[in-house]
Amino acid sequence: MIKLADEKQAQVKRATRAAFGATLAELAAEGAPVVAVDADLTGSTTTKKLADAGYPDRLFNCGIAEQNMVDVAAGLAVTGHVAFTGSFAVFGTGRAYDQIRNTVCYSNLDVKIAPTHAGISVGPDGGSHQMLEDVSLMRGLPNMRVLVPADYAAACAAIRLAAATPGPLYVRMGRASVPAVYADDVELELGRAYVLREGADVTIVACGVEVEQALKAAEALAAEGIEAEVIDAFSVKPLDERTIVASARKTGCVVAAEEHSVMGGLGSAVAETLARELPTPVEFVGMRDMFGKSGEFEELMGYFALDASAIVEAVKNVIARKQV
């Protein structure tokens, strides 16, 4: 059984991006051939921590040139390094998509696309910087794997897993500080989803910041006599289809929750799996074909119906469909 954060640990909020540079520094100290290539955002992405830890020759700042950043990372990978790219998600995936596709993925290079500031958690920076299509972009690429950690500990595990897994891999990290879901030093696996709470009435599959919201929703639902099974789909690609199908078979209905567009992300992956393996009523919690807005993270979660109350509503809707 995966070890979750206790009540005291859960009160400590840390951003997933804070795990990036710190974990790279640990890996370098352990002898891993990791390097970081950034696009003039080393403080915000925290890759600067790698240089500050005594490895300035492992950090390459390409300036505001994300396409060059990816190509430099590809070159370093060819020379035997495990290359992580930084930048914000909107630039690190969107502006450099051609290089990720045709240089990194086509050649199956050991490059890890690991941007921060994904989703609406960017907050006041607004819709131009709130990347809501990145999972869809990365998930559609051959050879690319996709990890979406729920908290700081999961992000540390994701960076370690990325460094140990040959080939292209995407790690999605955010700006906002979020409560701990997992205990420190948790170890997570590629292609695995984790049942964090068992239930018989509905399955909630979530990733990223939505995992904590799903657990809160499950508590609220339990007070109404509805037992929700909560699954963290940490690995969006490859998806743990066996765990999700087994849960759907038990509960008979599913809610997919993500801080991302409902088109092409986790919800799409879940729906594709169920359509093929076990047709099941599914409701989606996510951004619905729209850009974000400027505001504080918690405010935006409510405004765009991404919070626990939105998950509760989706659960009631999908249970009603199951009963028809």
CB-CB contact of 59 with 47 (8 Å): yes
Report the Cα 287 to chain-centroid distance in Å: 15
Three-state SS at 129: coil
CB-CB contact of 91 with 39 (8 Å): yes
Task: Say if strands 202-206 and 82-85 run parallel, antiparallel, or are unpaired.
Answer: unpaired
Task: Determine phi and psi for 40, rounding to 5 degrees.
Answer: 70, 30
CB-CB contact of 185 with 212 (8 Å): no
Report the Cα 173 to chain-centroid distance in Å: 6
Catalytic machinery residues: 66
Among 255, 252, 241, residue whose Cα is nearest residue 280: 252
- Sign, Cα dihedral of 298, 301, 305, 311: negative
CB-CB contact of 53 with 28 (8 Å): yes
